[in-house]
Each structure stands twice: as structure tokens, then as C-alpha cells.
Amino acid sequence: MTDYSKIDFSGLTAAFADDEVVTHSYVRDIRLASGKVLALITLDNGRDHTRPSTLGPVTLLELNDRLDELQARAAAGEIQAVAITGKPYFLAAGADLSKVGEIPSRDMALQMGQLGHFVLGKLGELGVPSFCFINGLALGGGVEIALNCDYRTLDASAPALALPEVFLGIIPGWGGAYLLPNLIGIENALKVVVENPLKNNRMLKAPEAYELGMADAMFAPVNFLEDSLKWADGVLGGSVQVKRPNAPGKLEKLAKWDIAIGIARKTLEAKLGTVAKSPYRALDLLKAAKSGTKAEGFEREDEALADLVAGDQFVASIYAFNLVQKRAKRPAGAPDKSLARKVTKVGIIGAGLMASQFALLFVRRLQVPVVITDLDQARVDKGLAYIRDEIGKLEQKGRIDGDEANRLRALVTGTTDKADFADCDWVIEAVFEDLAVKQQVFADVEQYVSETAILATNTSSLSVEQIGANLRHPERVVGFHFFNPVAVMPLLEIVKAPKTDDETLATAFATAAKLRKSAVLTADAPGFVVNRLLAKVMGEAARAVDEGTPVPVVEKALAPIGLPMGPFELIDLVGWAVAAHVQDTMVREFPERFYASENLHTLSKLAQVVEKDKAGKVVDLTKEAKKAITVGKTAVDEATILRRVEDELAREIKLMLDEQVVAAAEDIDLCLILGAGWPFQAGGATPYLDRVGASERVFGDTFHHPAIRGVGA
């Protein structure tokens, strides 16, 4: 076993020292009611509530020194317990991943894991009982601080506890993969370590974490520290008996453990494929955690963490994470926020499913009156019924209370008279994707609304300029393209037409922020970003089928990218008619670059096009679909299809950047990650295309300098 005490961590410390925000370990003695002395460590980086404490090498080594001092004091009988907690609202947010992403070698990555184990492992080896008082947010290494202690209490108001590492392309590497399943059982551990991170990095609220067994006691925030100290005193004196019903017994380890791992593995393979490395390394570690010593478990974590931190997927994940957490919050090209107009009433043209989803989102987030309209009262009534039913579902799920449900219902009204839009300052259309139809509905409503009311179009591929071309005030028309389902998908493509003014654009960005969507500014180019690039993927898939390639071959060809679904599964999701329409738009605009498939139009007229397995994956076309299409006899293999898609994407993205459709390659990736589910571990499209050589093949350069790749061995 590795003797961590003999490792020289000075190189690691030096790599972080210049700009590490050090979280200091402050120690004070507290005399408990019983007379026993508890040494309380408080972690505090000296920053305000906007900067959670993080755990870099300098931080860990300072904590190590304090723990060594406390171990000596415990041996001398000066203290009878040690506890660790955090500054107000935070225990710790784990390692500073932006710095971990800059680690220059696998050896240093290995040391990062070893240092965490060396220091945090001492929390359970002090010679006296150790407690963690989880007083707020605890992520990654913050949770692992708690796991390494003997006992844990939890503030009931803690907003988030999680081990998010798998989401970022690594694994819990400071004890989490070994200690957690042995504390709360394998099924609960799978939820925390693998399942939640892969659900868009889902976090646990304090009551959820307590229910799983991640803490032994939970107290209200008002007297959290006092209650935790009193509870710890009871544990020390024997009056408090700690029970852990979720801790795995022999039967679970013999019978249930491997079965749970096997089920999880099959589920992952069905949903994700096998490209992403971190979920499977996590499964391996969780499986091994059922036996062996803590030291063996820690050593396995060291090696897995080193491999992953040094690999391409972690570096790409950090790039993607920074896009979502930082760039998305400061959209490139957005006008000054002070130019935004206030939105006090929203009008929605249409009362179908998309329009009704808009109404629900706007009324929930903006809390302003929303009016919907359609061709006749029956359609309006159907839309209102859907909205009110959805509000009722939110109430039943406890997402909103009865008062808010009633208020939201009262704010939504319907009409067939567009004169009722007169006092709306934001109007969005959700009608059929046809230029003439969109032009007509805006022309109708412009007669009634004020000259400053903004007209937003949800078009997915039509020209925003043409939609507003016949209006008296085209400067107040803006593209506001949602993705379906509206409530779930986080991306908004905000489209600036040549005449769109800054006030309109600023209001669009401010409204997107209030809707809790991530907005990317795009030029008024065909397909904008996501649909233009998906049309490339779908077009190449259609080309291969037209040549005679079986659908299962095409569906598997793009697996190395790690996309959440194959091309035909994607087409089936968005709708075959929609896919055919997008294809027509792109072929009309760029006939020399986008593939036109008559078979796609033929399939769009069928009731059912594909057959799926139990996991929802496309396995083939239906018999009816096979009979309906005409194919050639020059089938291609998976490698050819993949290379075509890679090269066509690289070519199209380079053209989009040259055309200034978006400000930078980062915005392309942000759109694909948030709007098309492009995998984090790929880093979006451009880092992937650089790594596989497509960028060099197509235009003799890379999108990023240097390319976003791991440091290797």
C-alpha cells in the first residue's frame, strides 16, 4: 500500500501556489456540557458568500498540519473529540477544478488524489472521535471531508450536497467511491455517484441526503452548531446511539451488490453508449468497494483519478463546464443591460402545445399577465385548459403552493381578438414554420401594440429579417428560438436581424435571464447554430441510407462522438416532417453544401417510421418505411459515415465562424451542449473535431490553440 507520508507534494503545491485562494483551518476549543473538550476546525477562505471555500494543495497541507497537532493533543488527553465545519452557508465546494484542469502530467494528477487521501484520511485516525458539522453547501471534496469523519450532522437548510465528479469526467477521488457505498449501501451510492451527476448534475437537498443516510442527524439552521455540539456530546457520553439502517450488511454485499452494479452498467450502456469513461470507472470503484481495506480503496481511487484527470475527457469537460457556468452568464455580443425595457405583459400568438409551453414558462418566471390567442375560441380554450392543468400538476408535486397556483391561473387569459394585445410590451409567435404565416400574424398584431412593443419570433430556421420585412417597425423584431421541451431545454438562440436595435436585443437577453435560460447571440443566418449543424448530421445519415447502408449501421456510426442519441433517433424525436422542413431550408440556402434526400420527405408522410427497442433506441426502419423508400447499392461502413460527419461539421463550423454567425467557437459549443445534448466529455463539437484531426483535414488548422486535450501519461 502507498505510504502517503513519504510522498513529496512540493511540486504540486508550487503548481497551485501563485493563485490558489487558500481556505484556512481555524481551530478553537469548545468545552461541552459534559466537561469534555472538542476541538472545532472551521474552514474559511476569507471571501464572502459568493465564493465557496475550495480545497487546493496549500489548503490541504495547512489542514494536515492542524490535524497533526490535534492528533498529538488527543494522545496527550487534552481533547476528547474533533469536529470540522465551514464558514456560513458552506462546508466546502471541493477542489478548484479550473486549476486541476491545468495539471501538467499524470504524475501530478496522481499526487492530487494522494494528497487528498493523505489529509482527509486523517479525519478518521485522530485517536478520538471525529465529527463533521455540514453547515451548508458541500460538493465533491466537501462531501468527502464529511465521509472521512466518524460522525456527521447536517443543517436542514443546506441547499446542495453532491459528488458531481462523474459529470465532469472524473470520479470521487478522496474517499467517496469507497466510503459512501459502505455508509449508505450500494443502490443509494449509485444514485449519488453516477445517476445524479448524469441527470444534468442533480444535487441533493439536505432532507434527501439525510434520508439516504449521508448524515447521522439533521438540525434546523437557527441553532445548528449548538445542536450539533450537544448531539456530539451525547455520542461521546453514550446517551446518543447512532443507527445507520442504510449501511450495507453481509447479505447486501453477497447478493445485491454485484447485481446492482450490473443493472447500472446495462442502463448506462443503453442510455450513454460506452464512450464516456468516468461513469464506468466509477462503477468499477463502487463494485470493488464491497470488499478490501480502506487503504486499498483509496489506492484504487488514486489510479482512476490520475488516468481520468490526465485524459482528454476531463479537460474537455472542464472547458464545457466553464462555458455553461461562465460564458453563458455573460453572453458574447449582448448589449448593455441598462438598455433593456421592462416587460409587464406578454402576448403569445398561438395556443397549441408550443405556445402553451411558452405561456406556462413566461407566467411562472416573469409573474406578469400573459394572454394567448388563436384562430378560434375552441383552440384558445384548449390551450388555457392545458396551461391550467400543468399549473395543477406543479401544485400536486409541491413545486408551487396553492396561493401561487391560483395567482398563476389568474394571470393567464385567452382571446381571439388581437386588440387585447394593445398593452403587451412583449409578443412572441408560436405558429406554423411558414414565412408567409409568420409575416401575416405579426402584421395583424402590429396594428394594436405600441411602437416599442417587442415582436419575438420562435422560428427555428427562417430569416428573422424577412419575417419583419413588411412591418412599420422591423427594428423591434428579434429571434427568440426555444428548444423542445421548453421547460427543460436550457438554450435560447437570440437572433439579431440587420435592423434589430439594441434596446430590443437587450430586452431579449434580460427576458431570457428571467426565464432562467442561457442565451447565445446569433446572426440571422439559415438554421442559426443548432439546426444548421444538426441538419448536417441528419443529411449525412440520410445520404448513407440513400446509398444503401442499413439504418442500424448508420445509427451506430456516430457512437464514438458520444452523442445522446443516434441520427435517426434524433429525427424521430424532432419529427420527420420537421426534419424534412429544416433540410429544405438548408438545401435552399446552401444547395452545394447540404444534402437533399427525397426519402426523408417520403418517410415524413408515414405514421410510424422506425422500430425501437425497450430503451427507446432505434433498431431499424419499419417494414412499411423500407418499402416506401428507394435506395442504392453502394453501402458505406461506419468509419466512412463518421469521417464524413466529422469533416462536414468542421467545414460548416469554420464557415459559420468566418461568416460571424456567432462570436467564437465557444458559442458554437455552448449551443450544441445546451441545445442538442452534445456530451460534456467531448467538450462540445470543436474540441472533439480538433482531437480527431477533422479540423486539420478540412482547413489545415485547429479551432483552439492549443487544442483542448489531456496531458497523457
Q: 487-531 pLDDT, tens per residue?
A: 889 999 999 999 999 999 999 999 999 999 999 999 999 999 999
* DSSP per-residue string spanning 141-166: HHHHHHHHSSEEEEETT---EE--GG
In whole angstroms, give the CA distance from residue 473 to residue 459: 19
CB 496 within 8 A of CB 521: yes
In whole angstroms, give the CA distance from residue 602 to residue 442: 32
CB 549 within 8 A of CB 599: no
Amino acid at 460: S
Classified as helix, coil or strand, 400 is coil
Residue 627 CB: number of other CB atoms within 10 A? 8
CA distances from residue 37 to 34, 83, 105, 676 in whole angstroms, order as listed: 9, 11, 44, 56
pLDDT at 675: 93
Residues 6+ apart with CB under 8 A from 254: none
Q: Where are the alpha helices (DSSP H) in 289-344?
A: 294-309, 312-325
pLDDT at 361: 97
CB 256 within 8 A of CB 186: yes
pLDDT at 522: 98
Residue 228's H or E segment, with its range, is: helix 224-237
Residues 6+ apart with CB under 8 A from 201: 162, 164, 167
Vertex 693 angle, CA 692 and 695, to 5°: 120
In whole angstroms, give the CA distance from residue 155 to residue 220: 6
Residue 192, phi then psi, degrees to nearest 5: -75, -40
How would you classify the pairing of strands 346-349 and 370-373?
Answer: parallel
Q: Which residue has the cell 440587420?
A: 498
In whole angstroms, give the CA distance from residue 202 to residue 126: 34
In whole angstroms, give the CA distance from residue 538 to residue 565: 12
Say how many residues make up the chain: 713
Classified as helix, coil or strand, 414 is strand
In whole angstroms, give the CA distance from residue 61 to residue 674: 38
> How buried is residue 712: exposed, middle or buried, by Cβ count under 10 Å (0-12/13-18/19+)?
exposed
Residues 6+ apart with CB under 8 A from 706: none
Task: Name the DSSP letter for residue 350.
Answer: B
Residues 6+ apart with CB under 8 A from 582: 460, 461, 527, 531, 534, 535, 538
Residue 137, phi then psi, degrees to nearest 5: -55, 135
pLDDT at 227: 98
Task: Name the DSSP letter for residue 473.
Answer: -
Bridge partner list, 152: 132
pLDDT at 497: 97
Amino acid at 636: V
> Which ranges of the chain have pLDDT less than 70?
713
> How buried is residue 615: exposed, middle or buried, by Cβ count under 10 Å (0-12/13-18/19+)?
exposed
Spell out where 148-237 has E strands: 151-155, 161-162, 217-219
* Best CA proximity match to 173, nearest among 89, 71, 100, 88: 100
pLDDT at 713: 46
Strands laid side by side in the 161-162 sheet: 90-92, 137-139, 161-162
pLDDT at 654: 98
